[in-house]
């Protein structure tokens, strides 16, 4: 995998929980949007 655009998040309780969840949600959405349509549809069921 190309790690050029990866970010590291250190879980030392300085990052607000809400921001952490938002970062995870954004990452999931980016990966999900790159999946083939057939796979996206199968995951939506």
- What is the number of structural domains in the chain? 1
pLDDT score recorded for residue 1: 61
Domain that holds residue 44: 14-45
Q: Which residues does 7 contact at the CB level (< 8 Å), separation at least 6?
A: 23
The length of the chain in residues reads 45
35 inside domain: yes
Q: The pTM is what? A: 0.71
So what's the pLDDT on residue 19?
A: 93
How high is the pLDDT of residue 16?
93
DSSP string, 6-30: ------SS-S-HHHHHHHHHHHHHH
Sign of CA dihedral 6, 11, 17, 19: negative
Contact present, 9 and 15 (Cβ < 8 Å): yes
What pLDDT score was predicted for residue 8? 85
**pLDDT tens-digit map of 1-32:** 677 778 888 889 899 999 999 999 998 999 99
**DSSP code at position 35:** S
3 is a domain residue: no
């Amino acid at each position: 995998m190309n790690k050029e655009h990866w970010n590291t998040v250190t879980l030392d309780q300085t990052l607000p929980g809400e921001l952490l969840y938002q970062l995870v949600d954004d990452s999931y959405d980016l990966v999900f949007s790159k999946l083939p349509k057939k796979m996206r549809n199968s995951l939506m069921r």
